[in-house]
Chains A and B, each alone.
Chain A
Amino acid sequence: MYRELRSHIISLLNAGTRLDGRKPTEYRKPIEVEYGTLKTAEGSARVRIGETEVFVGVKMEVGEPYPDTPDEGTIIVGAELLPLSNPEFELGPPGIQAIELARVVDRGIRESKAIDFKKLCIEKGEKVWMVIIDICPINDAGNLFDASSLAALAALKDAKYPSFDGEKIDYKVKTDKKLLLEKMPIAVTVVKIGDKFIVDPDTEEEKAIDSRLTVSSIEDGTLCALQKGGDFPLTVEEIDKMLDIGIEKGKELRKRL
């Protein structure tokens, strides 16, 4: 379907450039992070990478813990791809894309141990905090993965506990107690087109990808999550190269927080 586009992108990449004149491993500009953009959420953020724009809101609820982890709270990540952000998205129950997006963001936060779930415990086996992270893309101009995970992290960083008297939560009163973030997991999606690797694909490049690997890493470069997508396989050497790019670019993105 996109043969012409793909061969054009590859010929550009062979010349060391891309459709919009960027270098292969260059993010779009500007990368902006805005905190506390939604008043009704406990924590929120808006992230812009080029023309891609994502809102993330964090709500906090009190609920019962899972029976196997009575002293741990939990996080729930949901993504809704609004038709307003991309004409190809449709209303209705979340599709494969939305579920994958939510799971990639969830895994980055969960597996990096960014939030200490034990600290979310209020009363063992009875009451724990549940952190609900909702992702809402306003404009999808490519690379929702990186934008969403950056926005989710920023929203968590911004989040403050609502006041809770042991019975009911008063969402109108925010306490000064912040949700502590132990780690800063940043996701970078490295895309393979032909035999070249690029980061931050735009809408047109996303149509032409062979495979993609979302690499989540924390401050010291430790890997915490991976997600492979696209129709083509990757060799071990290719994955090695993609990890290096992902971790290095992650450091760059982290400075924006």
Chain B
Amino acid sequence: MSKIMVNDKAISVPGETLAVGMDVLPGIGTYREGEKIVANRLGLAMIDGRTIKLIPLSGRYSPKTGDTIICKVIDVGFNGWRLDTNSAYSAMLSMKDATSDFIARGANLTQYYDLGDYIVCKIVNVTSQKLIDVTMKGPGLRKLKGGRIIEVDPNKVPRIIGKQGSMVVMIKDASKCNIVVGQNGLIWIDGEPINELLAIQTIRKIEKESHTSGLTDKIKEYLEKNGKKN
């Protein structure tokens, strides 16, 4: 019979024993050591049926297949582009995944994406060695023109997006800005100067208060109060 040592949503520190016994399974952010399941980062322990996982409180982005991320072009090669993913690993965008246009042999690739450009792309594969392949084929995947990029804690991105995107839709409506949120913690915002500022301030507020409950209502109130001024 196994024993779970922590409460649901309890703050756990690296090395803390979360559970003892072989019929509990280690999830993300935990590992098994003999009979024990141990936390390997700082976060909230979530008990989900038989598995125990840790929701990290902070840390860098770690690439995951299927994520839509915002990347910066850091190198243009012969057959593709190298992208900065705001994580420890860079991604590769190959020519055939970059565009549906015909690219002539030896064409200048900078006319599609140049150094320093920001693009929205989707991760198709992450190897065990953390080589990342991304694609530009899919709805909403494109080069970002104009606007600005801000950086947030990647662990707070789910809060910024909200359930089925409720939070980000609310910000979009209130600020009349175009917003793209990348899973890697980069956010692109484009709109009128004063509205952009409102969107950024709201996102910073969400980041700061992400651990509190009833956040959607709080942000709604905040947007109503501050949006009127403009």
Contacts and interface: CB of A to CB of B under 8 A. Distances in A.
Interface of A: 1-5, 7-8, 12, 15, 17, 19-21
B193 A4 contact: no
The listed residue with most B CB atoms (<10 A of its CB), out of A4, A8, A20, A21, is A4
Contact of B145 (A2, A4, A12, A15): A4
A159 B146 CA distance: 49
Interface string B124-157: 0000000000000000000011111000000000
A5 B194 CA distance: 17
B197 A4 contact: no
A21 B147 CA distance: 15
Contacts of B103: none
Most chain A Cβ neighbours within 10 Å, of B118, B146, B148:
B148
B115 interface: yes
Nearest to A9: B148
Nearest to A2: B116
A176 B144 CA distance: 61
Given A3-B116, A21-B194, 12 more contacts: A1-B115, A1-B116, A2-B116, A4-B118, A4-B144, A5-B148, A8-B146, A8-B147, A8-B148, A15-B193, A19-B148, A21-B197
Nearest to B197: A21
B117 interface: yes
Give the interface centre of A2, A15, A19, A20 by most chain B CB atoms within 10 Å: A19
Interface residues of B, number: 12
B146 A4 contact: yes
A74 B118 CA distance: 50
Top 5 A-B residue pairs of the complex, sorted by shortest distance between their CB atoms: A1-B116, A21-B197, A17-B193, A12-B193, A15-B193
Contacts, number: 25
A21 B194 CA distance: 7
A98 B193 CA distance: 34
Contacts of A19: 148
A38 to B, nearest CB: 31
A7 B144 CA distance: 13
Nearest to B143: A4
A83 B41 CA distance: 26
20 contacts: A1-B115, A1-B116, A2-B116, A3-B116, A4-B116, A4-B117, A4-B118, A4-B144, A4-B145, A4-B146, A4-B147, A5-B148, A8-B146, A8-B147, A8-B148, A12-B193, A15-B193, A17-B194, A19-B148, A21-B194
A1 B145 CA distance: 13
Nearest to B118: A4
A15 B148 CA distance: 16
Nearest to A15: B193
A118 B51 CA distance: 77
A212 B115 CA distance: 25
Contacts of A4: 116-118, 144-147
A5 B193 CA distance: 14
Which of B115, B117, B144, B193 has its CB near the most chain A CB atoms (within 10 A)? B193
Interface in B178-227: 193-194, 197
A3 B110 CA distance: 14
